Amino acid sequence: MSIDKDLLKQVDDLRTQMGFAGRSEVLRAGIRMLIADSREKEKLVGRLSSVLLLIHDQRVENVVTEVKHRFEDVINTHVHNHLKRGKCLEIFVLEGEASRIRRFVREFQVSGKMDYIKLIIA
């Protein structure tokens, strides 16, 4: 497994702050949380109202633009805001079929370009 230096430092900081025995414990806990989150989202069915929050580097704005154009059918509102240190905040208000919203979120997750992704179901 390869992890860049910045992410490894964050893992080490988290290990210290939360009292994990080592990096492996932090990674296992993160993997378990990701699996639980994925299972929870897979159970969603029917029409949903939700909000998606993204934080990313300004340099990858093209990724957001490409994905959002493929999912305009579920996007009610999109707000883009510039943050400090070259970061951007994207807020999407979504309405549509659960499967379509899941695919939209997954596109950002698998891109590997987002710093933060959070789907909130209304």
Percent of the chain with pLDDT over 90: 84
pTM (two decimals) = 0.79
Whether the predicted pLDDT of 97 surpasses 90: yes
Whether the predicted pLDDT of 1 surpasses 90: no
Contacts of 101 (CB under 8 A, 6+ apart): 44, 48, 50, 74, 94, 119
DSSP codes joined into one string, the chain:
----HHHHHHHHHHHHHHT-SSHHHHHHHHHHHHHHHHHHHHT--SEEEEEEEEEEEGGGHHHHHHHHHHTTTTEEEEEEEE-GGGEEEEEEEEEEEHHHHHHHHHHHHHHS-EEEEEEEE-
Whether the predicted pLDDT of 122 surpasses 90: no
pLDDT at 77: 98
pLDDT at 83: 96
pLDDT digits (tens, 9 = 90+) for 73-88: 999 999 999 999 999 9
pLDDT at 91: 98
pLDDT digits (tens, 9 = 90+) for 39-66: 888 888 899 999 999 999 999 999 999 9
Whether the predicted pLDDT of 92 surpasses 90: yes
Confidence class of residue 2 from pLDDT cuts 50, 70 and 90? Answer: confident
Q: Does domain 45-121 have CATH number 1.10.1030.10?
A: no
